[in-house]
Amino acid sequence: MVEARLYSFVPLMRAAEISSLRARSAAIGAFNVNFYAQAEGILEGLKKAEAPGIIQASKGANKFQGGAGKIQEMLLLAIMKGRYNIPIALHLDHGDANSARDCIDNGFSSVMIDASHLPELENIAATKEIVLYAHPRRVGVEAEYGLLSGVEEDIAHQKGVYADPKFVPVFFDRSKTDALAIAYGTSHGPNKGKTEALNVDIVRESYEALKAHRMNLDRFLVSHGSSTVPAELVDEINRYGGSLKETSGVPEHKLLEAIDSGIRKINIDTDLRLGITATFRKYFHDHPDI
């Protein structure tokens, strides 16, 4: 029986950074789950890719499963049953102070505190408070700087606000967070707007600032809202009764450019939801007796 162990996301991103410095640019995929079969599918995909990965659960997913502890048990069971021996982290996505502490107490190996709606200094203070709780328990912490457009559960920003690359090392230094999701033009949901909004120079300049301060082996940049929103999935959803309109995602070449520029964690949620929705809609169409 494979020992079910969860890793902090810090060594996973550090391995990606070392790879990027030595040979090939790399980032760790972070995939949101809401139920057991979804976790199985993601783990199987990671196994086929021979890649480590980050499984993420939002506050809503934790509530849906009956608590953060249930999510942790669900993932450990999927790891043991599938005999997966690849490094896996369990991460809270877009948490607040209460949900972050709850996840730390219930076996998550990393958490995100999203205080990006606050002024910068308040954001830093809120982040540092969670860092002080998490780090003694060997749990990694992610924060967010800048504002992404779109909707992520109960968090909605109609207009994005870019991160300032010069302030990124300051945020890391003052908050002591391990990872920082920086706003560079991506957005949540299936309507990501125009590709022109993506400013990968923000990523590149932020990463160069981290290297200049010798932070890049311990502090890592994250890309939120990074689903590609495949047209074929949207078409299948609409073919079987859906009504998705004006969808758009982040082009794959832009994600690769962001990774080349210093991103070490890529968040994917919408693409998984689209795949599940397309599958269910077609199945119900083909089996009207269900």
Mapping DSSP to helix (H, G, I), strand (E, B) and coil, where does residue 216 land?
Answer: coil
Distance CA 22, CA 229 (A): 32
Q: Can you read off the two tokens belonging to residue 36?
A: 């057991």
Which residue out of 93, 96, 114, 269 is catalytically annotated?
93
Distance CA 217, CA 225 (A): 24
Question: Which amino acid is located at 157 in the chain?
Answer: H
Q: Which residue matches tokens 């969860």? A: 6
Mapping DSSP to helix (H, G, I), strand (E, B) and coil, where does residue 221 land?
Answer: strand
Q: How many residues does the chain have?
A: 290
Q: Can you read off the two tokens belonging to residue 86?
A: 């690849």
- Strand boundaries in 20-139, DSSP class E: 28-32, 53-58, 88-95, 110-113
Question: Which amino acid is located at 134 in the chain?
Answer: A
93 is known as an active-site residue? yes
| Nearest CA among 275, 276, 281 for reference residue 243 | 281
Q: Are strands 150-152 and 155-157 parallel, antiparallel or unpaired?
A: antiparallel
| Nearest CA among 60, 52, 64 for reference residue 10 | 52
For residue 146, the surrounding DSSP H or E stretch is: none
Distance CA 13, CA 22 (A): 14
Distance CA 232, CA 238 (A): 10
Query: Which residues form the catalytic set?
Result: 93
